[in-house]
Structure 1
């Protein structure tokens, strides 16, 4: 990046101190979300940009994704959300000489006030 004596020059291509376009960083982040390994993310970036990001740059992207996930996971839910678990299991039940496949369904939920109901 060119420099000037007052330090007032700013490139219009990238934000200051940013090395990749946001779309590229977002694409690499999406690769992490889909389960691609850090090494493979670096290889794809090498193919797309012609320059492989350093291991620390890829780790920073991954760390950013982890931080975003933790914020999302720990966010407060609105009061109108309820929790409901549904589950089922198949049993073979014998009635004399005949067997039937029976399904037992269970539902477990919480009310607005936090009381568990079945």
Structure 2
């Protein structure tokens, strides 16, 4: 308990008076009309010391006595604002924190931004690293404040399958004078969980020095 508050309560206890909300309103009104502390105390029925500290409530001096700056104590959380984001997996509802004076600015999804379709690239990058759908959803929740369902994640990862198949079936040159073959082992998720699988990389150079993988 800070000194200013304890002094106020001690003065009130000595006067045998605890201020009600109506009395506090009356004190503030009389003070604005120019009444002296003793005149206000006489009307309310307490000591002028109690009136003095009552008028200090919420002032910068009182806040400084509590070790807080006025800027820190003036603003407070004020619930959440619903917002719908557009992603490549569909619309996702989120709740954006807000404050009383409107000074809070979200950093991940700024104000008035509703399109976060770039999230697709992040999901694909995590999926390529072998992360499970649950881990991907948890990571997105940590970053953006909302979770993607398994169906939404599958929709994103399946969206590149057509491009992958097209690339795998593209026509190659008839002849490559130089061919390099290498193999790496990567962790891949299958029906039986994650296991190390061999991935072969074949790099070929054509007659013009251009390379194909």
Length-normalised TM-score, structure 2: 0.29
Length-normalised TM-score, structure 1: 0.49
Using CA pairs under 8 Å that are at least 6 residues apart, name the structure with larger relative contact order, 1 or 2: 1
Structure number with higher helix proportion: 2
